[in-house]
């Protein structure tokens, strides 16, 4: 397994084509806006090499028998699924942001099942290709970016009906040695911090959309791939002197638009090719795994609750009954989220491929709660913090030789707490609920792994209403002919 330092060096060897603010980024690793997101990924390597986290952060490969980072593991038991949920909470609390490797892990596990099932029906060799690719990922301890979401254009139209056919990733040419693809994937978390890009369909495809029913893997610096970094609120604060106004001074998340401009994919890296009847299965299996992955938001919630309790103490209001009650409510909501993550893992089962799969109903219920509870936790944190969170002057004002003394004087809370401590904690709450980290905590909670309606559709499909009706009728004496 790689160390955090080796991971950083591995990124330096890549030749990524990255744009931000209209200009090409020559040094992705050291760019001050991108680097905090890289450090968050590096934390997944750092903790995997710590003995106290070995049980949660590492696993034994079922294909090689070697010790591997859990992010490259294919779940082999209920215990693996539970540890995945625990790993998400651990890293969320450690980084206070999105650590960007869950999508790749969930993609690998979904493909391990779908490729097996395609082969069983059509006699193809996708699963064999996938296993060889998996060995490569595990041996090199690589970060994989799972790429599912297409731009989609006019949502009322199918992929083949779009005026611009490239609004969904598609095959544009078939060769003896592989295929050529064109299109783009949006909202790609951690894409520029990844070694590999694994593409999947974004929706269930029909026969007329079979050119879009494809899944494949590419090195992240393959010829023809371009990345455009997405903007985040307060992102340019990372360019300023000092670190207070950044809130989270160590870590951050980052998304990108990934453009595939006639990119060649060799056959050995193609895992689905026009088997449109399996596209829905791959989408559903990936989505269920990824909805389980939102145990990470519990870890972020741990940080935000800690920040709220601390600022209440710094403000001298921590003993007020209404503050205590709000902290209790924040913990109640956060632990309820954790219950969902553990439940869908504990109720998982073994698929024909041998991979263990989460309980789909409970995974979707868990993610539905994630679309709501973090927003209430954030609201309560802002309530406790007070309006100063968004009206603070800059760090430069606090450091000013002219007015710094007044900043220290008038922004002090409790007399025994340094003003800087209070300011730092307020900036962290701002960062997590309004700033760059709000993307990883709130926006991802709403739209990551599918927006709320996607989970509600899955819940409606998975719940057995007829059985519930039978239970009710039996107990009140209704006997139908």
Q: Which residues are catalytic?
A: 98, 102, 189, 255, 290, 294, 296, 444
Indicate the SS3 state at residue 450. Answer: coil
The dihedral sign for the CA sequence 204, 210, 212, 215:
positive
Only one residue has tokens 């974004």, namely 202
Q: Tell me if 419 sits within 8 A of 408, measured CB to CB.
A: yes
Q: Tell me if 177 sits within 8 A of 266, measured CB to CB.
A: yes
DSSP state of 313: H
d(CA 216, CA 178): 11
Backbone angles phi, psi at 390, to 5 degrees: -115, 5
Phi-psi region of 355 (alpha: psi -120 to 50; beta: other; left: phi over 0): beta
Here the tokens at position 245 are: 């106004």
How far is the first Cα of the chain from the last one, in angstroms, to the nearest whole number? 64
| Cα–chain center distance at 290 | 8
Q: Tell me if 116 sits within 8 A of 353, measured CB to CB.
A: yes
Beta pairing, strands 225-229 & 18-20: parallel
Backbone angles phi, psi at 38, to 5 degrees: -60, -40
């Amino acid at each position: 397994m790689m160390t955090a330092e080796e991971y950083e060096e591995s990124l330096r060897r890549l030749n990524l084509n990255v744009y931000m603010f209209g200009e090409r980024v020559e040094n992705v690793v050291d760019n001050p806006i991108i680097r905090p997101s890289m450090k968050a990924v590096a934390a997944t390597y750092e903790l995997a090499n710590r003995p106290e986290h070995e049980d949660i952060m590492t696993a034994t490969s079922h294909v090689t028998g070697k010790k591997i980072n859990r992010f490259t593991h294919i779940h082999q038991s209920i215990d693996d699924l539970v540890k995945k949920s625990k790993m998400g909470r651990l890293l969320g609390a450690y980084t206070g942001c999105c650590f960007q490797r869950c999508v790749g892990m969930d993609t690998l596990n979904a493909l391990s099942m779908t490729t097996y099932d395609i082969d069983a029906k059509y006699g193809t060799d996708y699963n064999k290709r996938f296993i060889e690719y998996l060995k490569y990922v595990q041996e090199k301890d690589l970060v994989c970016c799972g790429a599912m979401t297409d731009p989609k254009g006019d949502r009322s139209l199918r992929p083949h009906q779009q005026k611009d056919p490239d609004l969904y990733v598609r095959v544009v040419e078939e060769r003896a040695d592989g295929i050529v693809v064109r299109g783009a994937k949006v909202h790609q978390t951690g894409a520029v911090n990844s070694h590999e890009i694994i593409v999947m369909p974004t929706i269930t495809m029909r026969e007329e959309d079979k050119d879009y029913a494809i899944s494949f893997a590419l090195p992240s610096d393959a010829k023809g791939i371009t990345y455009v970094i997405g903007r985040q609120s307060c992102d340019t604060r990372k360019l300023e002197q000092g670190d207070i106004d950044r809130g989270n001074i160590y870590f951050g998340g980052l998304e990108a638009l990934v453009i595939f401009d006639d990119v060649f994919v060799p056959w050995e890296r193609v895992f689905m090719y026009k088997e449109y009847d399996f596209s829905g299965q791959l989408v559903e299996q990936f989505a269920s795994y990824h909805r389980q992955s939102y145990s990470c938001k519990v870890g972020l919630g741990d940080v935000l609750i800690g920040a709220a309790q601390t600022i209440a103490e710094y403000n001298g209001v921590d003993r007020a009954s209404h503050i205590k009650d709000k902290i209790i409510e924040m913990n109640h909501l956060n632990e309820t989220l954790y219950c969902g993550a553990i439940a869908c893992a504990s109720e998982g089962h073994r698929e024909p491929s041998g991979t263990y799969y989460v309980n789909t109903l409970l995974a979707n219920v868990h993610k539905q709660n994630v679309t709501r509870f973090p927003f209430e936790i954030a609201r309560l944190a802002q309530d406790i913090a007070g309006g100063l969170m968004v009206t603070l002057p800059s760090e430069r004002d606090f450091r000013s030789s002219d007015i710094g003394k007044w900043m220290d004087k008038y922004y002090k809370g409790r007399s025994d707490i340094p003003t800087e401590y209070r300011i730092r904690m307020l900036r962290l709450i701002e960062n997590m609920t309004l700033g760059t980290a709000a993307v990883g905590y709130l926006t991802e909670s709403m739209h990551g792994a599918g927006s709320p309606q996607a989970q509600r559709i899955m819940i409606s499909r998975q719940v057995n209403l007829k059985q519930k009706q039978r239970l009710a009728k039996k107990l009140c004496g209704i006997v139908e002919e």
